[in-house]
Amino acid sequence: MAGKTTVGVLAMQGAFIEHEQAIKSCGANCLQVRRAQDLQEIDALIIPGGESTTMGKLLKQFNLLDEIKFQAEQGMPIWGTCAGMILMAKEIVDSNQIRLGLMNIEIKRNAYGRQVDSFETDLEVKGIGTTRAVFIRAPYVQKVWGDAQVLASYEDKIVMVRENNMLATAFHPELTRQKEIQEYFLQMI
């Protein structure tokens, strides 16, 4: 199936080209999403890392916010990394920033500190195994509820969550050469 699948990567701002390259190397088609009508062309959506406040503002200004929410309710698989994870959270600690609010998670931004505290490490993911995880000014999840299931934690902090058709990672699989997380997401389609 993967060969015929088209995955959209939200291209407002951030590391969308890295996601595009990773998805293509897994054999799927890829489309950069900048307009609401682009959502009609895709089977799944990735919201990349970048600045969540920048992306949230552009999503609202260019009328993508409600359209993505609608597609999520219709069951479109959506995967957010880092800033994407923040945008997918219903609750963001100490912030009223614009968000999609799709997942039953409470997230803390810049939770590990500033850039000098950014790090990479090996991470154990439920059902996938060990993967190399790059955390850049990363958030973590403080609380999950409802259908949200924890897939990975690092030093007792939740860093990967699945909730039905939605997936969120605090780290950046698109910055490594490994493809396990991409393959896992493509299986969700």
Catalytic residues: 82, 172, 174
**Judging by DSSP bridges, how do beta strands 119-125 and 129-135 pair with one another?**
antiparallel
- x/- binding map, residues 6-25, to another protein, per CB under 8 A? -----xxxxxxxx-------
- x/- binding map, residues 125-144, to another protein, per CB under 8 A? ---------x-xx-------
At residue 168, what is the residue type?
A
Nearer to another protein, 9 or 102 (CB): 9
Cα 143 to Cα 107: distance, rounded to the nearest angstrom = 7
Tokens standing for residue 166: 């939605």
118 counts as binding another protein under rule CB under 8 A = yes
180-187 helix and 16-25 helix, angle to the nearest 10 degrees: 80
Q: Which of 112, 105, 119 has the alpha carbon at shortest distance from 139?
A: 112
113 counts as binding another protein under rule CB under 8 A = yes
Nearer to another protein, 125 or 148 (CB): 125
Per the CB < 8 A criterion, the answer to whether 189 and 182 are in contact is no
Q: Which residues bind another protein (CB under 8 A)?
A: 11-18, 34, 49-51, 53-54, 57-58, 61-62, 82-83, 95, 109-110, 113-122, 134, 136-137, 172, 175-176
